[in-house]
């Protein structure tokens, strides 16, 4: 049999495994060994063509979902066939692999679907300088790769199984040391912290860091099966668990992350989870940032607090945040950080504080957020007191699942203003806020109303769902607005589900 060639652009269409806001994602059924092998080859070819490879080594790691080990093996096989030595960093957080890649100058591939369900997975690609940007994604999509004859069966499964190399602990150890070297010993003394483990690959790192810094840690809620924890759409079950654990164990906070450990969850002393964009503001202020980069969906308290020289807004997704951070650094900004509404925190420059340095990590991270908030809470007398130092702006977010991107775009298109004064169609559906006065189409459709309230609708870049973000001056009002909007979006889904889905070219 002759070797087979795949154009990645065509493979994306054929398989349904496509690039989203951060990496390539697809169903586990679609992410066959052959598809993952081809994507890995394309990534490595791109690095070689752009002179970004100085050593023929590739670091790989994965999260704890059921398909991850198989996909890691396919990635490793592609690297070996390309002439690379594979370093298996094991099951570690995404930011741990990214940090190791940057520190060693090696490319990396993280197998993770992040917060999405177990029947899906993904590939996150790291260059030696950090995660890939949209320009890298375009170059990867343009690649054509050769698949050796007889390597895969007709269904895309590997014909001969290859074992992964023995796990190397270096990535995990250097990641943990990043925090122990920056935060003073004993800075969390006296705190009782519950670590909600579920199926997060960051559980061990969190427990080790917090314990080493002086906190008393209680491990909670471990799950042997994968739990799709989404920090922007926290399940009612997880809200109830945090409240119960806080009271039962007399905790100062419950902390956790999503599946791959790049999005944090931190509760106050009453078990109420903080919003990720609020956590980002507090962390940026603690680190003394002069420039803050955050997506358009984040809470506007970041501007209202007037603690930063410059706040830059981007599309949603870490590649866009990183590009803007890089631009700020190029213009001479001293301390550049970024965060997303999901809570993931990025550092674009080295941070110097209390005669200690924190090396840059321009990818989403959760551990840094957890430690900073706990340290601030210890100094302030509780997280709830810490929150009282911020302007009173409250955000809420949710999603409607099983809502394909094409459908979402189809419904949003007629609501999108064609001019500055063309907001009437949106007001007809969402007049609960009064008169709309301003719109932003940076990412989806974000509308500001005369009373200062905000409704933001956006098709997800990672899964077939439409997301909604709202903001107002009271928490109760935000919850009410979100419920109203989700009801409307659900009615859209019910309406569209009875029709044939639009073709791939329809937007």
**Element (H or E) spanning 27, and its range?**
strand 24-27
- The closest alpha carbon to 52, from 114, 112, 110, 128, belongs to 128
The answer to whether the Cα torsion of 141, 144, 148, 153 is positive or negative is positive
| CB-count exposure of residue 239 (10 Å: 0-12, 13-18, 19+) | middle
| CB-count exposure of residue 98 (10 Å: 0-12, 13-18, 19+) | buried
Which of 114, 246, 298, 460 is an active site residue?
114
The answer to whether the Cα torsion of 208, 213, 218, 222 is positive or negative is negative
Q: How far apart are CA 82 and CA 63, in angstroms?
A: 24
- Helical packing angle, 8-15 and 33-49, nearest 10°: 150
Tell me if residue 146 is catalytic: no
- The closest alpha carbon to 111, from 35, 166, 179, 170, belongs to 35
**Phi, psi dihedral angles at 27 (to 5 degrees):** -70, 155
- The closest alpha carbon to 193, from 262, 277, 256, belongs to 256
Residue 275 has which token pair?
């919003």
Do residues 210 and 371 lie in contact, with contact meaning Cβ atoms separated by under 8 Å? yes
> CA-CA-CA-CA torsion for 349, 115, 261, 369, nearest 10 degrees?
60
Residues classed as catalytic: 114
């Amino acid at each position: 049999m002759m070797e087979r060639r795949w154009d990645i652009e065509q493979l994306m269409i054929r398989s349904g495994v496509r690039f989203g806001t951060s990496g390539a994602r697809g169903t586990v059924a679609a992410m066959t060994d052959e598809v993952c092998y081809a994507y890995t080859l394309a990534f490595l070819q791109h690095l070689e063509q752009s002179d970004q490879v100085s050593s023929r080594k590739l670091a790989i790691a994965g999260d704890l979902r059921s398909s991850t080990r198989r996909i890691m093996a396919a990635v490793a096989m592609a690297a070996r066939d390309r002439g690379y030595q594979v370093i298996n960093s094991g099951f570690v957080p995404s930011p741990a692999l990214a940090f190791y890649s940057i520190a060693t100058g090696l490319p990396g591939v993280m197998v993770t679907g992040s917060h999405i369900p177990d029947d899906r997975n993904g590939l996150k690609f790291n260059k030696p300088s950090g995660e890939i940007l949209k320009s890298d994604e375009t170059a990867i999509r343009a690649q054509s790769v050769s698949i050796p004859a007889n390597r895969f069966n007709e269904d895309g499964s590997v014909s001969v199984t290859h074992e992964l190399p023995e796990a190397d602990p270096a990535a995990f150890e250097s990641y943990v040391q990043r925090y122990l070297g920056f935060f003073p010993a004993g800075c969390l003394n006296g705190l009782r912290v519950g670590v909600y483990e579920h199926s997060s690959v960051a559980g061990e790192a969190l427990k080790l860091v917090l314990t080493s810094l002086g906190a008393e840690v209680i491990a909670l809620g471990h799950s042997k099966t994968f739990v799709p924890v989404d920090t922007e759409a926290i399940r009612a079950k997880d809200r109830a668990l945090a409240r119960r654990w806080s009271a039962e164990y007399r905790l100062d906070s419950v902390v956790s992350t999503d599946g791959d450990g790049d999005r944090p969850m931190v509760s106050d002393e009453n078990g109420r989870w903080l919003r990720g964009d609020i956590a980002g503001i507090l962390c940026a202020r603690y680190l003394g940032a002069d420039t803050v980069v955050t997506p358009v969906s984040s809470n506007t308290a970041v501007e209202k607090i007037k603690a930063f020289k410059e706040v830059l807004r981007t599309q949603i997704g870490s590649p866009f945040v990183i590009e803007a951070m890089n631009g700020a650094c190029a213009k001479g900004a001293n301390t550049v950080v970024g965060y997303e509404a999901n809570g993931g925190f990025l550092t674009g420059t080295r941070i110097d504080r209390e005669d200690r340095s924190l090396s840059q990590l321009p990818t989403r991270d959760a551990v840094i957020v957890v430690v900073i908030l706990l340290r601030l809470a210890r100094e302030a007398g509780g997280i709830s007191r810490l929150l009282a130092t911020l302007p009173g702006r409250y955000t809420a977010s949710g999603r409607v699942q099983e809502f394909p991107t094409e459908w979402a775009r189809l419904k949003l298109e007629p609501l999108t203003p064609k001019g500055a004064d063309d907001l009437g169609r949106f007001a007809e559906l969402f007049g609960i806020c009064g008169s709309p006065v301003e719109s932003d189409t940076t990412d989806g459709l974000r509308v500001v109303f005369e009373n200062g309230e905000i409704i933001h609708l956006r098709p997800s870049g990672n899964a077939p769902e439409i997301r909604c973000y709202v903001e107002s001056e009271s928490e109760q009002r935000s919850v009410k607005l979100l419920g109203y909007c989700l009801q409307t979006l659900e009615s859209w889904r019910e309406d569209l589900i009875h029709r044939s889905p639009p073709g791939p070219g329809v937007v």
